[in-house]
Structure 1
Amino acid sequence: MGSPELSFTHATPYDDYVGTATLRALPGPRTDAPEEPAFLVTTQVMELYFGLVRTELRLAVRLLGGPRLPEATAAIARAAAYLDVVNAAWRPLNRLTPRRFNAFRAGLGEGSGFQSALYREVEFLLGDKSASLAQVHRGNPETYRELLAALRAPSLYDAALSVLDRRGYDVPAAVLTRAPETPYRPDPQVEKAWARVYAELGPGDELWELAEALTDVSDGFTQWRVRHLAAVRRSMGAKAGTGGSSGASWLERTLRREIFPELWSARTLV
C-alpha cells in the first residue's frame, strides 16, 4: 500500500477545501469565560446549518411546482436531517447557568439570535410569516431583499398544498389563492385531505412520503424552538433578551405558531 503524501508547497488540499484558515479567522471570544467559545461555535454551526436548510427548502419549493415530486421530498428529508444536527448542537449549552452566562453576556452587546436572517428566512419558507420581523434587516439591502422575496413567495406548505390539489384532493381555492405573505390559518378541508393521504396511502406512495418528510421538518423545527426556550430559561430565566425581546416569554409565544398544522391535526381523523 502506498504512503500518504506528506509534502505540500503551501496549505494542504484538505485545508484549502475545508477553508480552515477562514474558520480560524472567525471572530473569537470577547471575554475569558470558559463557556463563551462553546456558545460562539454553537451559534456559528447553527448559522451554517440553517443555510443548508434554506438551500434545501428553496429547492423543494421549486421542485414541488413540477412533476419531480420524489426529488422534492428528498430535499425536504435532507432539510429534516440538517435540523437534527442543529438540535444536537444545543447540547454543549445545556448546563449553562445564569452566573456562567452572565460572565460573557455583555460581550454580545445588542446581538441576539432573534436577528438571524437565515433563521428568519427558514421560518418564512416554512410558512410562519411576519412582515414586521423582516424590518430589522432593512440596514442590509441584499439580506432584506431576500427576506422580502421569501415573505412574498409561496411557502413550502403552500407548494405542498398545490400538489395535493393537482393530485385531486379537495383543497379550497381560498387556501390556494391567498396572499402568500399572510399568516397561514388551518383549514378543515386541508385537514381532511391529509387525513385521506394517511387513511388510503402508505410507505412508497409519493404523497405519503411527502407528508412524512414535511412532518419531520415540522417536528425538527419545533424541537429547535423548544430547545432554544429551554436553553434561555436555564441560562437567564425570565430576563429580557439581549436584542430587546422579552426573552423566554417571546419564545413561548413562537411555540404557539404551528408549522404545517393540518399534518398534525389530521391524525385525529384517521
Structure 2
Amino acid sequence: MNTEYFAELGRLLAARGMPEQEVSATVADLTGYLAESGSADAREEFGAPDVFADRLTQGRTAERPEAEAGAETWKWTADIYTDRLLLNQYGAEGWEVEEIDFVGRFVCRRPDAAMRWEYRRETAHGAKGREALLADLEPDGWEPCGRWLHMTYFKRPAAASAGPAAELAATPAQPTRHVFFSAKSRALVAMSVISMVLLVLGYSFGLIDLSRPGVYLGMLGAVPVGVLLAWFGVKRDVAKGIESR
C-alpha cells in the first residue's frame, strides 16, 4: 500500500517539475520519516498524494536563485530532545535553515561560500507572543527561520558572535541521515504501545476489571518507570545521532 503511495507521489512530483534526483531524495526522506515515526499508513500521515505533491512543490518558482548555482540542499527532522544540539552542530558546518515544512522537517541549504550559523528555540503562544519574542531577539541579530506548534526557531550568522572565525574554509560532506529521534522518544512511544497492548489483552481475557479503581492506579504506576528508562538512553542516543552520517 505504502509502496504504491510513494510511487504515485514520485510520479506527481516529477509531473510538477521537480528534478528526478530531488524526487528520489524526497521520497526516501518521507519513507524514512514514516518508518521512524511508527505510522503504518502513508495516506493517513500525509494525505492524498496529489494534494501532498501540490504542497511539496508549492512556491518552487519563488526559490532563491542561489539554489540553482550549486548550493546543496538537505531536509531532516529531529525530536525536541535533540533538535537544538543538532541545529547548532550542522549550523557550524554551514547549513542554513530556510524554513520548517509542514511535516516538521528543517529545510536547509549550504552555498559554495558557506558560513557558520547559530540557532535557538523559543516558546511563544499566539501572534502577540511571537511578535514580542522577535522584538527581544532581533536587536542581537536573530531572525525567525521556522515554527512548529508553539515552538519558534531562530537563526543568525555566527559572525555576530565569532566575527571572521565564522567563515568556513572547507565544508564536511552532506549527512546521509535525515531522521534523528532520541532514545527517550522511542522509549516513550514503545511504552505507550506496550501499555495499550497489555490493556487490550488483559481486558479481552478477563484479567483486568476496569470497574476497580486500583487498576487505574497500577496503570499510572507504569508511566514513571518508562520515563526513567527512557532518560538513561538519551545522552547515548544524542551522541550517536551527532556522529552518524
Give yes or no for TM over 0.5. no
TM-score (norm 2): 0.26
Name the structure with the higher helix share. 1
RCO comparison, higher one (Cα < 8 Å, 6+): 1
TM-score (norm 1): 0.25
Name the structure with the higher strand share. 2
